[in-house]
Amino acid sequence: MELVVLALLVVAGVWWMRGDSDERQIERRMNALVELLEKDRDTAPMLLANRSRQVRDFFTAEATLSMAPLFRPSLSYADIAPMTFYVHRNAEDVRVTVRDRVVEVAPDRQSAVLRCTVDGRVALAGETVRLLHEFRIDWQKEDDAWMIARVELVQAIRAPGMD
Partner 1 sequence: MVSGVSEGQQQRKAPLWQRMVIGARPRQTLARMAVLAVVCFVCFRYVLLPVRLQGGSMEPTYADGGFNLANAWTYRHGEPARGDIVVIAMAGRKAMYLKRVLAVPGDRVRFVEGALEVNGAVVPEPYVVFEGRWTTPLEQLAVGEYFVAGDNRAMPREAHVMGVVTRDRIVGRQVF
* Sites of contact with partner 1 (CB under 8 A): 69, 99-102, 115-117, 119, 129-130, 132-135, 154-162
How many other CB atoms sit within 10 Å of the CB of residue 39?
Answer: 22
Q: Which is nearer to partner 1, 125 or 162 (CB)?
A: 162
8 A C-beta contact, residue 96 and residue 119: yes
Angstrom distances, CA of residue 39 to CA of 62, 123, 153: 26, 10, 22
Q: Which is nearer to partner 1, 89 or 158 (CB)?
A: 158
Q: How far is the CB of 6 from partner 1 (least distance, A)?
A: 17
Angstrom distances, CA of residue 143 to CA of 25, 55, 159: 14, 18, 39
The dihedrals phi and psi of 138, each to the nearest 5 degrees, come to -90, 130
Q: Which is nearer to partner 1, 126 or 160 (CB)?
A: 160
d(CA 59, CA 124): 27
DSSP 92: S
Q: Is 22 exposed, middle or buried (CB count within 10 Å of its CB: 0-12, 13-18, 19+)?
A: middle
Q: Which is nearer to partner 1, 60 or 117 (CB)?
A: 117
Q: How far is the CB of 78 from partner 1 (least distance, A)?
A: 26
Q: How far is the CB of 132 from partner 1 (least distance, A)?
A: 6
Q: How far is the CB of 94 from partner 1 (least distance, A)?
A: 17
Q: How far is the CB of 123 from partner 1 (least distance, A)?
A: 15
Q: Which is nearer to partner 1, 41 or 72 (CB)?
A: 72
